[in-house]
Structure 1
Amino acid sequence: MIAVLIVDDEKIVRKGLTSFMPWSQFGMKVVGEANNGENALEFLESNKVDLMFTDLHMPVMSGIELMREVTKRYPHIQIVVLTLHQDFDYIQEALRLGAIDYIAKTELDKEQFDDILVRISSLLDMKKVRLLSQPEQEDRIDSKVYVAYLLSTNHEFTLEASETAEGGIELESGIWYWNDRPEPLVEALAYFCIEGTSGMERKELYKLIRNYKRNGLFYDYNPAVPMKTLTLEELVNRVSYEAQVEITAIKQSWLESDWIYDEELFETRMKELKTIQLPAIRLMRLFFSLTDEWNRMYNKMLEQELMMEDHFITFVQFSEWLKRTRQLLRDCIEKPQFSVEIQSSITKAKTLALQTYKNAVTAAEMAKHVNMSLSYFSQCFKQIVGKTYTDYLRDIRMEHAKNYLMHTSKTIQWIAEEVGYNDEKYFSRLFKEYVGMLPSDYRAGHKLDRERDK
């Protein structure tokens, strides 16, 4: 069992890491906490610790000072840095002192905990077996180095024919390093030249190269560019960059229909996504959710459901999928008897209905909102969508009600109000017409199904 010490002057950070990280799944156990460097050293005097997480800015003794002491007194202890600082020199100092990884505190949410421990566990294993500090290698390196990342069809970074990487060093599976420009290897390799590395410690550079695979490569890889050049400072910034964005706002912009019709706006939205650079896993989660919403909005017009791939290796692949998806949406909603403006208005009405289904937005109010007369709005809505606005709104509400009944223990009255009905009896009657049974019977049936599945 790997014994872990957490050092941070913020109690909420210490408790959060201790409570929410799935330590035991990775053979780790938190054996202690400390709120500054001095208390950490006092703890280390009488307790066995293998891995230490430490903040950099703390009172009494900073994280940098603590790392210097731990490196001298307890060289076997591996260190992971917690920081809000993305300063180039500051990060270099932490790496120079032997940190095996650093984590921006903005990453510390429950969705990221598994990913963080997978990475750290892998780094601990690699430290035992990799040749990053072989004695025959010089500790300092030249001003320019070359790196290749394999992008394979099974979504892993591996190089099957290692003999083709003549003169290279395999830093980890699928990452190769050269001091001199290599000969072309195999197809689907992403090549990078890193400049400004003169005098840098080899171990420090290797760490940045490995971390770049998960932070920057997804957005930077372009098959049209044989070899991309990065300065060392750009590499550090790309590794440490953490998007500070409001996901809800991004999702809202893609739920609007204007980008489907407007090529220039679509390209602008794509550039915004690449500029924001959400971590790839978060980008995938966002567009899985959006795909579900698009299927719901356009289900009557789509010949088949929109499908998103489970994983994209690069932003280039993701953008190609999104272009195809846009074309499918455009094809299904461009009906010759209606102008683009009318189709856009009806799509906007559908989007608003999905977002405001809890409120009593009538057909007349919706027609006014999209600048159409009530009669023409009703006519166009039914012909384009395949049902009346009232039926469309009811269907949205009933689908949400079914979800509440299956997955919550809320009362029928609460669910009725949550989906836009103040009268429980009226809601129950509509639900029975829609589903074929009362809400209570629907809930009971799904409860039995779940118990049988256990």
Structure 2
Amino acid sequence: MYEVVLVDDDVIVTQFLKRYIPWEEHGFKVVASFQDSHSALEYLLENTYDVLVTDIGMPKLNGIELIEQLKKSKSNSYHIILSCHDEFRYAQQAFKLEVFDYILKETMEETNIIALLGRLKEKLDQEQFTRNQHLKVTKFLERNNMTLKSKFIEKLMKEQNITKDGWWKEQEELLKLNFSDKYFTPILCFIDRYQEAINHYENETSLQFSINNLLEEIFTAKDQQDVQIFFTQGKFLILLPMKYNTREKTKHQIEAILKELHETIYAGFEVSITSVIGELNVKEQSLLESMRILLKNKEQRFYYKYNSIQNFYPISYTRDSIFQDYVEISQTIKELILKDKKDQILECISQQLKQIREKKYSPDSIKDWAIKLIIDIKLSLHALNHFERQSVVITIADQVIQYVETFEHLEYVLADICEKFLEQIRSTNLTTRNEDILKAQKFVQTHIGAKISLKDVAAHLHLNSSYFSRMYKKETGEGFVEYVTKTKMTKAIELLEHSTKSIEQIAFELGFENKSYFSKTFKKYFGMTPGDYKYKTKEKMN
């Protein structure tokens, strides 16, 4: 609906126009009417409108003067004059102001006004269509420019020997870039919780376009027209031109600008960003090198807190194995899950991640550690009767963790997955008989280092040994002793793969009387000795 404002000092005229003209049937809506032209002017200057219908002869401020005042500030609205005067001088003044039409009140009939509205709507519709088309073209060009800039920066980062001639100059002209005579500071900004942000904005392009527009508005308001912004997946690179100054002053200026960017982006989109400042005040080849270093070390953001501003320095990752204490940690978490100790689970995860952070392991090795932890816990729980048949099963842990961006994000994801394991165990509907089996299996899982006999477990459950043995076989399809052996052998594999313990130490840790009996059981189960298995594992790793 196009919005109409009526102004006439004769209330009968405005009432006639409002009541007897079917505005809405023809795409218009009367949003305000005035008898006082000064009040009308005040309203019209403060509000948007599409059409003004005004009397020409009014006290204090006549219709011609009213339109003159409005023309000074608003030129895209249409004006229609109602007049009792058919003198040429009034019509001449009106058409000098480019009014849409000049209607004599003596000929003001419903059919004439409806015909006028038809012509006016056709004009307004055409203008709106043209504006929409122009907006589409503008948006297309802006988005295309973003894509071209992304490809430009990707090529610069990949090809080390690009010189400033030919292709480079052509791209600078095409994208309106100029790196030659200015000092820039490169800043790499990560969009926090990127997958969630994309889901909210439906696709990556819409999210990038929205952020880009906001950044351009901010920098235009600061009169920083030469700022360059390049988007790549999940992040964007800002080249911020700064007047050459002392290092400390430049640093403080950039941090102040970034703080404002962080706050404005969050206020506008509820999306936080993490910013990493590269080398200060560099140009040409030094600028390229600084940009390459930032992008080459992008995985370091795993060590940055969300919504933080960082000064770049390279992290030297340890080459030590992240799996040194893995077996003990995974066993502790498994036991805590079986005992439903949520707070202790969260504390254990938090402490372990803190130690990993302090030792500076690479992000990829940390993700491998987390994926293995979840898969191993899942496999151990699946060894419990009926666990695997439940509806809630964690099947995409590796996919979820691959998208993890920071330590705090990883801690949240691990805690969430463990909570799902707890819920799954709590919601398991078991009969009294199956409950005894579950208790027996939990006993084995939490006493893996002890010598476990059928008699001891039956006594723990207050059941007759023979009855418990028959019940277990009937319900699970395997003997209880077989289950104990399977569980201990699974644990033996973990220890052989992820610990430096000797075979003798592993044997005693799993409750075997001696190394010989452990080796004999292992070979019977896997077809090779523990020593052969350990040797083959090392060969695969090498």
Q: TM-score, normalised by structure 2?
A: 0.38
TM-score by length of 1: 0.44
Higher Cα Rg: structure 1 or 2? 2
